[in-house]
Amino acid sequence: MENAEPEEPQKKRPHLDHVETARNSTFQINNKSGMGKKMCPDLSRDILWDILFRLPFKSLVRFKCVSKTWDCAINDPWFVKSHHQKQSTKANNKIVITKGRRLFLADIESLDVEEFIDFPSELQLQGSCNGLICLTDRSESEIILWNLLTEDPKHIKPVSLQQDRLRYSYQGSVYGFGYDSSNDDYKVVRFSTFFYISRGITPNAWVYSLRKNAWKEIEIPPTFDFIRARNGVFTCGALHWLGESFLEDQKFIFAVDLETDIFRKVPLPDSLVGLRTSLNIGVLGGCLSVTSLLPQHGVWVMEHYMLKESWTNLFSILAYKIARPISYSRDARKVLLQEEGNMPYWYDLERQNFSQLGICGLGWGYCVVENYLETLVPASGYGRNYTDL
């Protein structure tokens, strides 16, 4: 989350005075004889909060079972946001992978793999943001927001496609998923394309607000024709897609600002403007990135958002398919790349060579890969406030 760390007024903190394991400001434990034994005298609530903030996410999920008080405290919006902000400075090293009907969470450093579920039908991974992932089924009859740690999926009914007096055929949809920090809201953006006999291909756009639990249609600028491609890329408070203006005969990056739901153009590097080549966009180290296949396979990053002069050619590689950067390694010496639909692989920036990621058990076949950041952000019931206990 992009908000600055909130102030900590006492009234907004859930009280832990009555937590069973910390009564009377003291932790106690039963020994084998059943007698209570003081472990740490005068352990204040502030120290307890400090301990909770340092715990990994999976431990916090388990500790929610200690009691109702602990469950409410760990689920409290203030704690969820504050814990995320304190943990977000650590390097992210997890990716989420959908492959057919299976979903995996993998650690790109340790290569540990966790298979979450084998779905009854194939799902499409449309985005990942702050611990929530966005999934759709192939028929686009359902959208699912899901925190893989808290396992509280939110099922969303897609916006109904309005009938028109003119005959049309539905061409398909692309999605994006991101976070509006100004309103503390998570949003799904859906572009749907229709072919009208009288006026050709026409895109429509809708935005779903998790906080409001509602869809609204947004206006697309008349010069924006979008390329049907992979899901939107989220960074700097906006979702990004590759676009093309048929009137101007050029490609560009367009964005939807999630605070205002308004479109804007993002400038490409000068060397790519007007170039007839395949492009792909992604996020690397928090910066918007673009990859070009020709004249050389180059990876560019926008070091200062919306500043055209800040585009920097990070590296160039020899590849036959266009690759999208996913993440840096923990030591920042390698970049994780993925060619469309294939398993990701490492590129060593110093040695300028490739190596397999080495995740066992996934095999070959089409897959979708996104970064995954562990948080306690809930999908269902998002935005609810807890009263002091």
Question: pLDDT at position 89, please?
Answer: 61
Query: Nearest-CA neighbor of 317 among 301, 300, 303?
Result: 300
Give the pLDDT score at 241.
Answer: 92
The C-alpha atoms of residue 190 and residue 124 are separated, in whole angstroms, by 14
Residue partners of 337: CB distance under 8 A and separation at least 6: 323, 324, 325, 326, 344, 345, 346, 347
Whether the CB-CB separation of 278 and 269 falls below 8 Å is answered with: no
The model carries a pTM of 0.81
Q: Which of 215, 105, 213 is nearest to 149 (CA)?
A: 105
- Supply the pLDDT for residue 311: 95
Q: What contacts 317, CB < 8 A, 6 or more positions away?
A: 297, 299, 323, 347, 352
Q: What's the pLDDT score for residue 150?
A: 78
pLDDT at 61: 82
What parts of the chain have a pLDDT lower than 70? 1-45, 87-92, 161-171, 195-201, 223, 225-229, 245-249, 294-296, 319-320, 360-361, 363, 381-389
The residue whose two tokens read 């920090």 is 181
- 84-104 residue pLDDT tens: 777 666 666 899 999 888 898
Bridge partners (DSSP) of residue 27 are 40
Question: What percentage of the chain exceeds 70 in pLDDT?
Answer: 74
What pLDDT does 17 receive?
42
